[in-house]
Amino acid sequence: MRALVVRPPVPGVELVDCPAPERPAGSIRVAVRECGVCGTDHDIVEGKYGRPPDGASFLILGHENLGVVREGDPAAPEFAPGDLVVATVRRGCGRCRFCLANRSDFCETDAFTERGIRGAHGYMAEEYVETPDYLVRVPAGLGPIAVLLEPLSVVEKAIDQGQRVLDRKEPTPGHPRPEAARALVAGTGAIGMLAALLLVIRGYDVTAVDRRGEDTFAARLLGRIGAKHVDVAAGFGAVGARRFDLIVEAAGSTAVDFSSIDRLGPNGVIVLTGIPDATERPVPVPGGQIFRDLVLGNQAIVGSVNANRTYFETGLEDLGRIEERWPGALASMITSRRPIESYREVLLSAAPGAVKTVLTIGVGAPPS
Ligand SMILES: [Zn+2]
Ligand SMILES: [Zn+2]
């Protein structure tokens, strides 16, 4: 079968022929239809990150996936040939209590693997094999947008973590909140835009910031869903005096993180999802001011990574909700679909203005 492979830490990516995986009893064989491309893939292709499976000389890339069941198993009658499926990404260490409870996104040993990222082959190939535990069945109607389920699962977890921190306050019976809770989303890439959609669905008054001006796809989509867009190229002053209950950081920029922490309201929480470059030049920060405000304002900073199966399942429900409320909005976020043969242009540089680029693979006739 054809597969896109990398050999980290050597930069680069190639389309190669390699043997299709064996299917052990109890597993499902899936024909990949398409894979989304994200910043993690670019980092791996640049050699900054990524690890082949033990004993292998290369790693098959790709973690944002949508496929079609090609071969089922009598032990898993719920998966029939032709069914659409999305596979989760992380595989537990098998030792810690979180992995044993199917919540490897909270793994405590760092011995987990991630398909397409570290220690396990990914999905940018014609086929993969997986056990039913890690496969989520997708209703046919959501096929055109289901490649967004994996990134959405990451957003589902991040917002859930933030909400849990906000909910630590005792309820105030008889004294309801006078206005909608406010959320700020920093960054308007795919993760930021999915966060904005989800937060509007959850009833938040949403503001999203980036540094790309007003004439962008993201700014227009934010307008359509009733969220505010603010260009902060000249600084966070453009946001005005507003303070926020929940900030979702999806920019991966330390400078943006510290600018946005300053916008936390009383009892607020900022959830960080972007992964800054650990080798970037140190950013000077007013540490005393930030920690003082955190203490005096009961505020919290929370990091959130990956997502367990539960978040794929809530994500599937929310894909349906978002599609119902703003038909076509999610499909429009897939700014281009390119055949796997175009992998060089897609993976070696990020197209300006693209929200989500998707590679179509194998039998993967793209949904029209
Ligand atoms: Zn991704
Ligand atoms: Zn673990």
The pLDDT, as a whole number, for residue 363 is 60
Residue reference for tokens 């050597």: 10
DSSP for 76-128, written as a single string:
-TT--TT-EEEE--EE--SSSHHHHTT-GGG-SSS--EEETTBEE--S-BSEE
Report the side by side order of strands in the sheet with 228-231.
Answer: 228-231, 205-210, 182-186, 244-249, 264-272, 300-303
The segment(s) of the chain belonging to CATH 3.90.180.10 are 2-138+333-360
Question: Using CA atoms, how far apart are residues 6 and 12, in angstroms rounded to an integer?
Answer: 6
- For 69, the 3-state DSSP assignment is strand
- Ligand that lies nearest to the alpha carbon of residue 98, given by its number in the listed order: 2
Q: Provide the sign of the torsion angle of the four alpha carbons 260, 262, 263, 268, taken in this order.
A: positive
Query: CATH number of the domain at 2-138+333-360, please?
Result: 3.90.180.10
The pLDDT, as a whole number, for residue 366 is 45
pLDDT mean across residues, the chain = 94
| pLDDT at 365 > cutoff 50 | no
Ligand 2 centroid to residue 304 C-alpha, Å: 16
The pLDDT, as a whole number, for residue 257 is 82
- For 289, the 3-state DSSP assignment is helix
Q: For ligand 2, a single-atom ion, which residues have Cβ within 5 Å?
A: 93, 96, 99, 107, 109
Question: Using CA atoms, how far apart are residues 258 and 244, in angstroms rounded to an integer?
Answer: 14
Task: Give 289-312 pLDDT, tens digit per residue.
Answer: 999 999 999 999 999 999 999 999
Q: Give the residue from 69, 72, 76, 118 showing the smallest Cα distance to 93.
A: 118
Which range, of 152-156, 201-205, 276-280, 342-346, averages the lowest pLDDT? 276-280
Question: Using CA atoms, how far apart are residues 8 and 143, in angstroms rounded to an integer?
Answer: 32
Ligand 2 centroid to residue 101 C-alpha, Å: 9
Q: Which CATH architecture has domain 155-303?
A: 3-Layer(aba) Sandwich (3.40)
Task: Give 155-166 pLDDT, tens digit per residue.
Answer: 999 999 999 999
Ligand 1 centroid to residue 151 C-alpha, Å: 6
- Ligand that lies nearest to the alpha carbon of residue 110, given by its number in the listed order: 2
The segment(s) of the chain belonging to CATH 3.40.50.720 are 155-303
Task: Give 211-244 pLDDT, tens digit per residue.
Answer: 999 999 999 999 999 999 999 999 889 999 999 9
Residue reference for tokens 């899936």: 30
Proportion of the chain above pLDDT 70, given as a percent: 98
Ligand 1 centroid to residue 306 C-alpha, Å: 9
Task: Give 135-148 pLDDT, tens digit per residue.
Answer: 999 999 999 999 99
